[in-house]
Structure 1
Amino acid sequence: MDKHNNKTNQSIYSNEKSGHKILMIIGALFFLISSPTLFVIPGEVRQGNYGVFAALIIPLIGIALMRFSWKMRQKFLFFGLTPLTPCPSIGQVGGQIGGRINIEKPWEKRKINVTLSCIHSYSTGSGDDRRSHSDILWQEHDKPIDRANGNTSTIEFAFDIPADCSTNGTHNGRGDIIWQVVVKGIISGKEFNRSWTLPVEKGTGLSSIVIPLAQKEAAHAAKIKQAETSIEQQIKTEKTATGLDILSDQGRNKSMSGGLIVFGSIFTSVGFFLFYQLIKSGDVPWIMPPVFSSIGLIIIGFGLFLLGRKLECKIIGDQVHTRRSLFGRQLYTRQGQLTSPDQIYLKSTMSSTSNGIKTEYMALYARVNVNDANGSTQQDIKLIEGIEGKAAGEAMKRKLIGFLQEDVIDDLNQELGV
């Protein structure tokens, strides 16, 4: 048993504990600072100055923030403080990180998901240019133990942590390493979404919370099934008389491409505005307009490429053929010899983070032999692209390798006359 389990575990309250208070203070400041304008408005209206109503925007924003804060408080109190007791008391990177969460609602059948993330939090720039960043270095999802505890209910979780993950004690770069657990689900008919920051250190200690083997196997099987269903929806595959056709169709990953186009448009608009200011007054440094415009146009171009790209792959015998097109226009083709499943590998090409969940976009490549004027050389050919989620990418890899192995067995049976 880990030595930390012998210590008195202190409860950790969720990061959302004081969020509504901060919002209430900001809203109150907005309202109080702008409230004197409310006494000026009647006199201005009598004089026909109706533009004074624009001054209502700031107090209305304050009222809206306070109202939203009150709703946040009601939602927070609905579930209670939800203290988390870590187990072990200090999470072990190289061992396990676990904990128990008490919820002041009776147990009922419900779907709860737990996400544990290792986050690198750091800042760049200084003064007005100071920016905060959060990069997810490692993340895992699981189904917790969800059980009754008298008139309340308890959620328990335990994750196996790779030894090569970082902690503040082993991190040498700028910023901090934060380990955060997020629990989401529907409890008593309302959305539950809370997060806790956990203390961690290097170690091999284990949690006293033991996830039943049957639950682990069921969760693993559910993840595989979900990944296989996802890849069926994302990538079109069809067995033919000559082999296998795979289509990474145009118009997928719209959230990623759309976000890039919007982000690039903002940069480009700022660049054009700076060009206008430079021509009009000359007060803008000449380097800024082309820099902003160029960055924006590059981002827009990449977003349009993601939106309009299509990759077709055909496997015929021991030959693989791919064709790249953009908005229906063919750009190039590739061909090579594919004889072994060992030539297939999975690679992460992009990633995005939304609501604390990291999504990786995967691509499958083949290291193939290509005959050219210089003889036979090895090249990496992209076979499938834009797979949303690492698990879906691994499912597609298994599917493709399974086809290649079947093909090898069929060829062997033909040679043996079976």
Structure 2
Amino acid sequence: MAKKTGSPWLLFLFALPFAGVGVGLLFFSVLPSLYEWQSMKSWQPVAAQLTHAELKTHRGDDSDTYQALARYQYQMQGVQYQGDRVGIMSGADNIGRWQQDRAYELQRQLHQTITVYVNPDDYSESVIYPDLRWGMLGFKLVFVVVFGGVGVGLMIATLVGRKKTQARQARKEAGQALWLQEPDWANPVSSGGRSGFYGLLFFAVIWNAISMPLLFVIPDEVRSGNTPALIGLLFPLVGAGLIVAAVVQFSRWRRFGSAQLTLDPWPGAIGGHVGGSFVVSLPHHEQPDILVTLACLRSYYTGSGKDRKRTEKVIWQKEGIAAQTPVQHATRVSFHFSVPDNLPASELADSDYHFWRVSFSAPLKGADLALDFEMPVFATGATAQTAGVESDQHPALVARHEQQLDQLLNARQLPDGVALYFDYFRNPLGKFIGIVFGAVFAGAGLFMWNSDAPAFMAFIFSLIGGGIVVGCLYALLNSYTVKMGSRGIYTERRILGVLVRKRLVQPDQVRYLTLKKNGSSQTGAKTTEHFVIDAQLKDGGKIRVAESLNGRGLAEQALESLALLSGFAKQ
């Protein structure tokens, strides 16, 4: 049940200072600097006498800042003028070595003639270096984008959310059912493609705003001998990857984002059917099999403080193949599942709530099909008016699972049972991502060892990063052999061909084969459950007979096949 939340105006007031910092810095620093940079392109070069030059250092508790100072004299139309402006941006800073380099350069030219640039409309305005400091501009843009983006975004979200809350409250007072109170649950249901694109774009902008200034700082650090600073290049690389992902998401949204899912029945029914259809503007003959995944999920927060994050947990999930029928020059995609009667219903978004999502995916030329719909599902027991073959019973799904199992299990029939071989590099993508992630952590730890960071922090980062790398390498480089049948169960685990463990269990010690969830992973809005199959023993122990099974449907079919081929019962 939804909990009463605080006033939205508190969030609005909280966001106001953030927006003020970002917007204020934009209008009072960034934009004026850009305007002056353009204006100074028309300023006149004039000879001037440099009378003073120094580098002023401001000592701080955490770091020092520097400021190049100068005074000079010049004449315009017989009138003597004095100036002290060094660059476009004033004040002290430690972004790069601009202040130090300009101060040393001016000190070498002290009491000599230098070139300054004078405003032709006001001879009292002059500057020595009219070039824009891109590193400093990028540093300021970090605050503009991060503080301004977060602040303005929260303010807009507060206003939009307030309007939705008012509309929902009006429907509630009118005595309408819960699924009639939420505007986003109206039939047909809109895809989350647009919000997904905007969310990814916002995150990509924030990440790049924070990381891009490193490109201006790292070269100076490397030149000064701080080679480990090159690790910082990983952050702009991640930013580039986020931009690519945002472009891909945008192309998908432009191609399919306007799809509307018409539910049948509406709302989806716990203890009945969940189904519906939508139309995509692609010829029917060009469509491959479309994988559909229906999931009931719990969304909640874990951790506290800065470690607080939203987590999704799969309560129930089923996969299938969507049916396709031609509609003029397009294709109608439909799905249909039977849902157990013991699952939680949809709830309004809160700090801890349940929701239902159906996802469609298929590889296509150009942007792949990837659509997600969040829908209302309640315990009405209703059935579909146009129900056909259930999506999880589609013949193409059974064939797909058989092909996947053939590739994964490498099953070979024996006179007394079956032999399985799980090869190296199973599900490699996730492991490679883990290796990169762990290497970043370990690299950060290495950087800390060579800096003034606390030793325990360097140890923790190195330990976590190294552990992730070792674990992922083990998962990539091990193979597993299983023989099971009338003579029992025999297993071998090898790493790069070297035997590290073997087990033998007599057939009379085996009770049954059982399916066990071994975790889950999330890519975008799609959550994939991972399973293993264990043989439960009479002494309470167990022995692994199959692993790396992705998806409940695939795992259930694997359990059925292994029970049939080995002769052991299944739970």
Alpha-carbon distance change, 303 to 182 in structure 1, aligned in 2, over 3 angstroms: same
Task: State yes or no: 1:202 paired with 2:379.
Answer: yes
Which consecutive unaligned segments of at least 5 residues does structure 2 have?
Answer: 1-176, 209-235
**1:343 aligned residue (506, 509, 512):** 512
**1:258 aligned residue (426, 432, 439):** 432
Query: What secondary structure sits across from 2:265 in the alignment?
Result: coil
Which position in structure 1 is the counterpart of 2:564? 402
Does the Cα contact within 8 Å between 1:264 and 1:295 map onto a contact in 2? yes
Alpha-carbon offset, residue 210 of structure 1: 1.1
Query: What secondary structure sits across from 2:401 in the alignment?
Result: helix
Provide the C-alpha distance between the structure 2 equivalents of 1:10 and 1:212, rounded to a whole number of angstroms.
23
Does the Cα contact within 8 Å between 2:187 and 2:262 map onto a contact in 1? yes
**2:336 aligned residue (133, 140, 158):** 158
Does the Cα contact within 8 Å between 1:156 and 1:209 map onto a contact in 2? no
Amino acid of the residue matched to residue 257 of structure 1? K
Alpha-carbon distance change, 199 to 331 in structure 1, aligned in 2, over 3 angstroms: same
Does the Cα contact within 8 Å between 2:272 and 2:383 map onto a contact in 1? yes
Does the Cα contact within 8 Å between 2:190 and 2:258 map onto a contact in 1? yes
Amino acid of the residue matched to residue 545 of structure 2? L
Provide the C-alpha distance between the structure 1 equivalents of 2:285 and 2:478, rounded to a whole number of angstroms.
46
- 1:359-378 mapped onto 2 (5 Å cutoff): 359-368=528-537, 377-378=539-540
Alpha-carbon distance change, 175 to 151 in structure 1, aligned in 2, over 3 angstroms: same
Provide the C-alpha distance between the structure 2 equivalents of 1:80 and 1:307, rounded to a whole number of angstroms.
37
Provide the C-alpha distance between the structure 2 equivalents of 1:385 and 1:89, rounded to a whole number of angstroms.
38
Amino acid of the residue matched to residue 101 of structure 1? F
Provide the C-alpha distance between the structure 1 equivalents of 2:524 and 2:431, rounded to a whole number of angstroms.
18
Which position in structure 2 is the counterpart of 1:141? 319
Alpha-carbon offset, residue 189 of structure 1: 7.7
**1:115 aligned residue (287, 293, 296):** 293
Does the Cα contact within 8 Å between 2:417 and 2:566 map onto a contact in 1? no
Q: Which moved more, 1:198-207 or 1:143-152?
A: 143-152
Provide the C-alpha distance between the structure 2 equivalents of 1:27 and 1:318, rounded to a whole number of angstroms.
57
Alpha-carbon distance change, 267 to 386 in structure 1, aligned in 2, over 3 angstroms: same
Alpha-carbon distance change, 299 to 212 in structure 1, aligned in 2, over 3 angstroms: closer
Query: What secondary structure sits across from 2:193 in the alignment?
Result: coil
Provide the C-alpha distance between the structure 2 equivalents of 1:29 and 1:303, rounded to a whole number of angstroms.
29
Provide the C-alpha distance between the structure 1 equivalents of 2:206 and 2:544, rounded to a whole number of angstroms.
55
Which position in structure 2 is the counterpart of 1:175? 352
Does the Cα contact within 8 Å between 2:252 and 2:368 map onto a contact in 1? no
Percent identity of equivalent pairs: 22
Higher relative contact order (CA 8 A, sep 6+): 1
Which position in structure 1 is the counterpart of 2:501? 332
Which position in structure 2 is the counterpart of 1:245? 419
Alpha-carbon distance change, 9 to 389 in structure 1, aligned in 2, over 3 angstroms: closer
TM-score (norm: length of structure 2): 0.52
Equivalenced residues, count: 358
Q: Which moved more, 1:136-145 or 1:261-270?
A: 136-145
Amino acid of the residue matched to residue 237 of structure 1? A
After superposition, give the CA deviation of every residue in 1:321-347 in whole Å (9 maximum; x if it has no partner): 222232333223222211498522232
Does the Cα contact within 8 Å between 1:95 and 1:203 map onto a contact in 2? yes
Provide the C-alpha distance between the structure 1 equivalents of 2:401 and 2:429, rounded to a whole number of angstroms.
19
Does the Cα contact within 8 Å between 2:485 and 2:507 map onto a contact in 1? no
Alpha-carbon offset, residue 198 of structure 1: 1.0
Provide the C-alpha distance between the structure 2 equivalents of 1:300 and 1:28, rounded to a whole number of angstroms.
29
Provide the C-alpha distance between the structure 2 equivalents of 1:28 and 1:274, rounded to a whole number of angstroms.
27
Provide the C-alpha distance between the structure 2 equivalents of 1:334 and 1:227, rounded to a whole number of angstroms.
29
Task: State yes or no: 1:84 paired with 2:261.
Answer: yes
Does the Cα contact within 8 Å between 2:300 and 2:310 map onto a contact in 1? yes
Alpha-carbon offset, residue 29 of structure 1: 11
Alpha-carbon distance change, 208 to 4 in structure 1, aligned in 2, over 3 angstroms: farther
- 1:1-400 mapped onto 2 (5 Å cutoff): 10-17=187-194, 76=253, 81-103=258-280, 108=285, 110-111=287-288, 112-125=290-303, 128-149=306-327, 153-169=331-347, 174-185=351-362, 191-212=368-389, 219=394, 221-240=395-414, 244-277=418-451, 280=452, 284=454, 287-315=456-484, 317-339=486-508, 343-368=512-537, 377-400=539-562
Let me know the Cα RMSD of the aligned residues. Answer: 4.4
After superposition, give the CA deviation of every residue in 1:230-269 in whole Å (9 maximum; x if it has no partner): 1221123334566543322333232233232222222222
Does the Cα contact within 8 Å between 2:265 and 2:274 map onto a contact in 1? yes
Provide the C-alpha distance between the structure 2 equivalents of 1:20 and 1:294, rounded to a whole number of angstroms.
35
Q: Which moved more, 1:185-194 or 1:11-20?
A: 185-194
Alpha-carbon distance change, 199 to 290 in structure 1, aligned in 2, over 3 angstroms: same
